[in-house]
Amino acid sequence: MARSVKKGPYIDERLLGRIEAMNRSGDKRVTKTWARASTISPEFVGHTVAVHNGNKFIPVYITENMV
């Protein structure tokens, strides 16, 4: 089921804060997250996010086509 347009996309605040901090510092390390429902925003492009699948972390490299 899709999220309501009036609510806007769900982006995990902690994950977004980490990505923005890495963008400011120019760092490109892997970020672990359990927030599978989080929407990919343009700030995430070029970063690798390790998403937990319930058993282990799966690294996902974010590209322009994913936004």
Q: Per-residue pLDDT tens, the chain, 67 aa: give them.
A: 677 889 889 999 999 999 999 999 999 999 999 999 999 999 999 999 999 999 999 999 999 999 8
Residue 44 placed within a domain: yes
Give the torsion through C-alpha atoms of 22, 37, 46, 17, to 10 deg.
Answer: -10
As for how many domains the chain has, the answer is 1
The model carries a pTM of 0.84
Is the residue at 5 inside a domain? no
Instruction: Supply the pLDDT for residue 58.
Output: 97
Quick check: is 23 in a domain?
yes
Report the pLDDT value the prediction gives residue 3, as an integer from 0 to 100. 79
Q: How many CB atoms lie within 10 A of CB 6?
A: 5
Note down the domain range covering 21: 13-66
Is 1 inside any structural domain? no
